[in-house]
Amino acid sequence: MNATQEQLKLKLAQALVAAFGADYTGVDPILVTASNPKFGDFQANVALSLSKKLGMQPRAIASAIVEKLDISDICEPPEIAGPGFINLKLQTSYLEAQLNAIKADSRLGVPTAKNPQKEIVDFSSPNIAKEMHVGHLRSTIIGDCIARILEFRGHDVLRLNHVGDWGTQFGMLITYLREVYPEALTTANALDIGDLVSFYRQAKQRFDADAAFQETARQEVVRLQAGAEDTLHAWKLLCEQSRKEFQIIYDLLDIKLIERGESFYNSFLPVVVEDLETAGLVKENQGAKCVFLDGFTNREGEPLPLIVQKSDGGYNYATTDLAALRYRIQEDQAKRIIYVTDEGQANHFSQFLQVAKKANWIPDDVKIVHVPFGLVLGEDGKKFKTRSGDTVRLRDLLDEAVSRTRADLEARLKEEGREETEEFINNVANVVGISAVKYADLSQNRTSNYVFSYDKMLSLKGNTAPYMIYAYVRTQGISREGNIDFANLGDNAEIVLREETEFTLAKHLLQLDEVIGEVEQDLLPNRLCDYLYNLSDKFNKFYENCPVLKSEEPVRTSRLMLCDLTARTLKLGLDLLGINVLERM
Ligand code: ARG
């Protein structure tokens, strides 16, 4: 609900009390968007719902309310329609004044949050020495967008990369590292073992085939946990190598985040278990320390335990998340903690959060939100894979998006007989290619699976990044064609609305605030994508119907301002999605 709707709702509620007395305080006027724009912008349906209680005809109730309703500064005189709807139509002068106000505002009418707070977005979070796969790509893109929106609203956002940098797999990796790169462990130099993923695979093969190797690996885990210097050194080398590879992806995607991996919480793990024991929540089960969960059962229908300490004394993913949760609440003072992972982890989150709640670790004013997302599918509808059936390397995936964009662009330039510099082509290919991947992800409702299709995401038509960026380019084309500086249309220049398509565009421009508020609440970036897509569509209709540069003043300047407002809204909205615009493409 935007500010205008809030105001109308309030005035309607007041009129209701004025008409029928204080008993009707707090009755919802049931204000909704008009079912058909022909009837105006909004309609209030309260008269119909009160008919029985008041023992009056709904139309008579509606007239009594309208009689007391003072909204002459916002709407045309209200009309009563059908069985008793109150139809409201915004006044042209009101819309014009609203647009004139946002045009001077760099935030385009979106206020900062009334109560800015500390928010943590836990996203991306790949695992060291393992593949950063399309699931991590989704988490990275969605998490970054959520963080951007919260930052824009003025919250203090901590972007955390909960990297999987601890665990028993390091025993195997370090043992293998000692075998194949013994020199790396004795020199201070950084190590280049090439592709870490194939290194992991080879280590795993050794591990699976050789019992002696397994035993050494187990000892290596113990040494790591005890903090043995040479083992720690090896561990750091592996992390460093992974980090470099992750950073390549973050640079390509323009992602900023702070690494605070699982290992960060090591020293807090024993206390977590101790505190759970003190709270009387821990039971021993075959040597492991467990917390039994409500609502989760195994196949035999017996209550399911969450293991917080294994029988060998080691801790696990859930224990670490419990420690991280406490740290984020106590040390970071977070008021909302948002976890962006695939839906497959939903149980993990509800389980460790249930334990945290039982232990009373989550204060009432702290919200914990798991933001789950679906799978990325190939065009065959199965899990996204390369032709040979391997997982797709993210770098290859992004490179391919860029090179396909470049090929499309070069073909288009040829067709249009345009000559552009290599630098221009590179820049457009990079911006559009990367944006296409991001937008394809963000424009889907994140809870559903989506099909990864280069053809679709790179198309200049439809709900795609190229289409959106092109709409922006079009607005800038108008400024170039008319040799007009949008930023310099004059402080006194005013927006005047005449044509239907101008009204439609104007009303949509005024809804940005509402949409951002929704995304901030529901953490569904696709709503912002839909909004921007509709904006481009409404802009195109306006542009087809209303001459801009060729019209007379004051309409000409007003229309130029509508172009500018559209451009700024697109630019801001796309920026919140992590997408850059181009002046030309
Ligand atoms: N490293 C995990 C994975 O790759 C994701 C971690 C998500 N964050 C968390 N606090 N559990 O699946």
CA of 432 to the centre of ligand 1 (A): 29
Q: Find out whether the beta carbon of 161 lies less than 6 Å from any atom of ligand 1.
A: no
Task: Say how far apart CA 118 and CA 363 lie, in whole Å.
Answer: 14
Average pLDDT over residues 539-549: 96
Q: Find out whether the beta carbon of 119 lies less than 6 Å from any atom of ligand 1.
A: no
Q: Which two tokens stand for residue 322?
A: 């419990």
Residue 46 — very low, low, confident or very high, per pLDDT cuts 50/70/90?
Answer: very high
Q: Find out whether the beta carbon of 441 lies less than 6 Å from any atom of ligand 1.
A: no
Classify residue 36 by its DSSP letter.
Answer: S
pLDDT tens profile 243-267: 999 999 999 999 999 999 999 999 9
The segment(s) of the chain belonging to CATH 3.40.50.620 are: 118-164+262-373
Residue 416 — very low, low, confident or very high, per pLDDT cuts 50/70/90?
Answer: very high
- Please identify which residue in the block is written with the tokens 């079009």: 474
Q: Which two tokens stand for residue 66?
A: 């309208």
pLDDT tens profile 345-402: 999 999 999 999 999 999 999 999 999 999 999 999 998 988 888 888 899 999 999 9
Q: Find out whether the beta carbon of 452 lies less than 6 Å from any atom of ligand 1.
A: no
DSSP, collapsed to helix, strand or coil, labels residue 64 as helix
What is the percentage of the chain residues whose pLDDT exceeds 70? 98
- Ligand 1 nearest-atom number relative to CA 321: 10
Task: Say how far apart CA 117 and CA 125 lie, in whole Å.
Answer: 23
Give the predicted TM-score (pTM) of the model.
0.94
Classify residue 23 by its DSSP letter.
Answer: G
- Ligand 1 nearest-atom number relative to CA 136: 4
Burial code (b: 16+ CB inside 10 Å, e: under 16) for 13-26 equals bbbbbbbbeeebee
* Residue-level pLDDT at 333: 98
Q: Find out whether the beta carbon of 122 lies less than 6 Å from any atom of ligand 1.
A: yes
Task: Say how far apart CA 575 and CA 185 lie, in whole Å.
Answer: 44
pLDDT tens profile 62-83: 999 999 999 999 999 999 999 9
Residue 35 — very low, low, confident or very high, per pLDDT cuts 50/70/90?
Answer: confident
DSSP 324-371: HHHHHHHTS--SEEEEEEEGGGHHHHHHHHHHHHHTT-S-TT-EEEEE
- Please identify which residue in the block is written with the tokens 């039971």: 283
ipTM for the predicted complex comes to 0.99
Q: Find out whether the beta carbon of 135 lies less than 6 Å from any atom of ligand 1.
A: no
Tell me the sheet residues that pair with 370.
339
Q: Which of 124, 133, 162 to mutate to test the pocket of ligand 1 (most atoms within 8 A of CB)?
A: 162
Among left, alpha and beta (phi > 0; psi -120 to 50; other), residue 288 is beta
Q: Find out whether the beta carbon of 162 lies less than 6 Å from any atom of ligand 1.
A: yes
Take atom 6 of ligand 1 and give the residue whose Cα is closest: 125
CA gyration radius, the chain: 29
Q: Find out whether the beta carbon of 305 lies less than 6 Å from any atom of ligand 1.
A: no
CATH number attached to the domain at 118-164+262-373: 3.40.50.620
The yes-or-no verdict on residue 105 having pLDDT over 90 is yes
The superfamily CATH assigns to domain 3-90 is Arginyl tRNA synthetase N-terminal domain (3.30.1360.70)
Q: Which of 161, 345, 371 to mutate to test the pocket of ligand 1 (most atoms within 8 A of CB)?
A: 345
Take atom 8 of ligand 1 and give the residue whose Cα is closest: 162
Task: Say how far apart CA 484 and CA 557 lie, in whole Å.
Answer: 10
- Please identify which residue in the block is written with the tokens 């007391």: 68
Mean pLDDT of the residues in the chain: 94
Q: Find out whether the beta carbon of 144 lies less than 6 Å from any atom of ligand 1.
A: no
CA of 321 to the centre of ligand 1 (A): 9
Q: Find out whether the beta carbon of 164 lies less than 6 Å from any atom of ligand 1.
A: yes
pLDDT tens profile 204-254: 999 999 999 999 999 999 899 889 999 999 999 999 989 999 999 999 999
Phi, psi of 309 (to 5 degrees): -145, 125
Q: Find out whether the beta carbon of 245 lies less than 6 Å from any atom of ligand 1.
A: no
CA of 139 to the centre of ligand 1 (A): 10
The segment(s) of the chain belonging to CATH 3.30.1360.70 are: 3-90
Q: Find out whether the beta carbon of 463 lies less than 6 Å from any atom of ligand 1.
A: no
